[in-house]
Structure 1
């Protein structure tokens, strides 16, 4: 009997020691002091209005709020203040899909979409027939993201999503290269609703938020209900904070599966506990099989350069390698530690969640501005510093070097444009009315080019409900620089971000050798995204066929006649 008691004692002691190691070390007061100091210094130099933080190490969860959630009223942020998380919320979507697969015995990550939606069509037959849930979650389709459909607030809806997907352009061969695609996460929300018979928002609430007691979680379309506890979104204009219209955030409201969740630090602490415990709720009950949850954090699509970057020298004094994309997570290696992480951005809101699964350490940061690289750099430096502290490593950044990051290791040119020095100054090379009219894309919706209200010598473009910009002539004929105005003015004119684009018109001869009218245009950005819009005329959708000379003359006459009618309508 004595032998049994001693054996049991040593066994329980060994288990306790192993659990202590596996669960990580608790967060000490000294660590909290160092983290607080680093965050405060970074917020000051980067002009961050407010910040939300949740950390987990061992059994400890630390939540904090810093700065001003409302600059105008002076309302301070705390651990209950709600911040929007952007694409950090893609992990909610992948976890929900894991739960649905767990409950449906006939589903797997490799279930083909056409098995669930027979009418599903993408650009080509191969993609249409072979695309799986794993392909959607891991960004493996090789198709253009189609973000303009969300940003404009007027292109895609749940009703026309399936029809619109077939119009996404190919960027790379199927499964050939990682191409981030929000439209595929919109489709995942649609599939979840189809399989479960409930709205996506209800599914997330019932399967994740309620069991984890995440009572603050709200979807972007319902932000008005949380006005008193919401961190307002900000940008810097002329050195001063300006609030960004919440309507710019709500444009993803129809598809919260892409990243439309807003939540507090306290609730994100519960989310970290769930992830680090292998999928258990607060009572220790599994909400999803641990194997399926681990699948979301595994490597499924090599990131561009990822398989080669391991052979390169580190960019910074420590090694940090993003190896692949998982499903709502990016498996990576930080200073020799296995890590998964994901960032999020929803205009002024920027966020980051990360886990060191083997060490049982996790973190979450969310900022409410300003728009631009400064907030992203702040988020990156704070994540690195906090990770070092919790991992017991010597931090390679501090309050001073963090404010200069990525200098001196990497230096990026300051991309600031003086629009007046770029645009063509002089009389129009064509009558501006030649470019005006209504144009259309089957996925991105309607675009209107019109004479600006402020000047008959200026063009303006309107896309969807909220997308508007001024068009400035460039020296090359039929080419214009795009500068945002209206709700999106901050994208071009904020202190820390300057996004401009270009519009190139394709012209059709109308009345004579020197009179033309625009039949289409290409909208492009420095990111490489390009979007084609065609004038609202049915003949532009006619199939291309071989014709003889008499048929060609007949079609040319029809083209001229139809263009004449359109031009008269536009002038009218």
Structure 2
């Protein structure tokens, strides 16, 4: 069932005359209501900081079934904006060290023995700027890492990560931000969650923010419930999909409008608290924002906007440490996005104009026809233009088609298979069945279900089936908790991963799980010796 409900509006405007006029506020409200209606967004919160003034708006539902409205106090997962906060915590750690630690300090100096990085030259800056050359390990972020392993022990597996050349192209890495969080644990002797809460969040006054989303949290009334697309219907997501375990420092935070306003103001004031205390040196904050690594070609291509194709220019300068840097309409934009399935957020800072914007939504999830990131972009482009005194280049018509007519994201969606000829794998299905293992992720168990003649798989929190493809690989179709990742639309599956089996002399030696979009490196699972305890047929 698509969303058809009366939109609840909660509006907080402090010093609204200095941020937006009454007419501008109504225009923004109407624009965002149009966006929510045509894109099936259940609930939304947005805030704008301009100097000492704040404007915010809450729309829609935090819980559709209970008709509980979004308010400014409602918590949303902020996904990878957590990376910006973790980097800011590292900046505080560096300043507190009084010169003993810098961004150029090697990780081995801080972590000690047992962490086999590609090179001993790897520094904090390398970790925070995604230039270690090491994989993101997205598979473990989504479906869970090895059960029962600590963050420390998980970090010590770094030497097993797939890799590219050190300090080559940017390789966006959730795993490296887990390591960054673990560095604070080694230096301060407490968990990343405790360090974040006591040393940074409480100092800024972010008292409602959760450092870590646990499964049960999202069902509480203080949270916006997460909504996913499942076979064309907007449905409440399974809470267990939103607990990312040890990788928390990369994307586990949840926050609300008052706290994100405080964080934006803290960053715009370059490390100064509201009481005037300089918690982090201005020069250290500026280092976070300084570009270190160019965006990889694929990411730059899909995010950058250049004239004359686009009406305005939004140019990528590069990734700093926990922050991306663009130039939008001639102005420096320091920003980060965050997405954890249903929860999607976008944070923009224009330090030279003393302006900040933050927006969060609780659905829908990505599908072949909808992109939550583009929804957030279309919202912030419009609001940013108004707060900066520019004429908006988007309106209530183009907000529902964005990024069309300028750019068509469907070019990245694999074409549907129109051939009705049955696909027969090269080998009997029983040959593919077995237990495959990778120490970074755990067991990838493939069993043959004779009742359906399908290969079923189990990987930590993931259950699914392998669907034969014409190129000889198998599409990984998710069931259960993660079914929405494959079946967002009713009759058009999307395979986030493909399974490519590695044939030995007379059997399969392993299997590579390969992302459909080139956002991470393949993960290889080696076959385990078969014994009576491994059941490969159902």
TM-score band, normalised by the shorter chain?
A: 0.7 to 0.9
Separation of aligned partners in 1, 2:48 and 2:479? 39
Q: How far apart are 1:181 and its partner, in Å?
A: 0.8
Farther-moved stretch of structure 1 (89-98 vs 280-289) = 280-289
Pair 1:344 & 2:338 matched? yes
Pair 1:499 & 2:495 matched? yes
Q: Secondary structure in 1 aligned to 2:409?
A: coil
Structure 2 gaps, min length 5: 1-16
Q: How far apart are 1:417 and its partner, in Å?
A: 6.4
Pair 1:53 & 2:46 matched? yes
Cα distance change on mapping 1:52 and 1:445 into 2, 3 Å:
same
Show the 5 A alignment for 1:157-556.
157-171=150-164, 173-222=165-214, 224-225=216-217, 227-250=220-243, 252-304=244-296, 313-372=307-366, 373-413=370-410, 415=413, 424-425=422-423, 429-452=426-449, 455-464=451-460, 466-475=461-470, 479-495=473-489, 498-509=494-505, 516-528=506-518, 529-537=521-529
Q: Secondary structure in 1 aligned to 2:81?
A: helix
Q: How far apart are 1:56 and its partner, in Å?
A: 0.2
Separation of aligned partners in 1, 2:285 and 2:429? 56
Cα distance change on mapping 1:347 and 1:457 into 2, 3 Å:
same
Cα distance change on mapping 1:311 and 1:94 into 2, 3 Å:
closer
Pair 1:142 & 2:133 matched? yes
Q: How far apart are 1:392 and its partner, in Å?
A: 0.2
Cα distance change on mapping 1:569 and 1:392 into 2, 3 Å:
closer
- Give the TM-score normalised by structure 1: 0.83
Cα distance change on mapping 1:254 and 1:568 into 2, 3 Å:
closer
Q: How far apart are 1:313 and its partner, in Å?
A: 3.6
Separation of aligned partners in 2, 1:36 and 1:407? 22
Separation of aligned partners in 1, 2:468 and 2:350? 51
Residue 130 of structure 1 corresponds to which residue in structure 2?
121
Residue 31 of structure 1 corresponds to which residue in structure 2?
24
Separation of aligned partners in 2, 1:217 and 1:315? 40
Q: Which has a greater percent of helix? A: 1
Cα distance change on mapping 1:221 and 1:383 into 2, 3 Å:
closer
Report if aligned partners of 2:432, 2:446 keep a CA contact under 8 Å in 1.
yes
Structure 1 gaps, min length 5: 1-23, 510-515, 538-562
Deviations 1:93-136 (A, max 9, x none): 01100110001120000000111123254464xxx211000000
Rg comparison, structure with higher value: 1
Deviations 1:510-536 (A, max 9, x none): xxxxxx432211111212341110112
Residue 71 of structure 2 corresponds to which residue in structure 1?
78
- Give the TM-score normalised by structure 2: 0.88
Separation of aligned partners in 1, 2:23 and 2:35? 18
Cα distance change on mapping 1:533 and 1:207 into 2, 3 Å:
same
Cα distance change on mapping 1:568 and 1:380 into 2, 3 Å:
closer
Cα distance change on mapping 1:418 and 1:135 into 2, 3 Å:
same
Separation of aligned partners in 2, 1:422 and 1:271? 54
Q: How far apart are 1:264 and its partner, in Å?
A: 0.8
Deviations 1:174-212 (A, max 9, x none): 112111011110001110011001111111111222122
Separation of aligned partners in 2, 1:321 and 1:396? 16
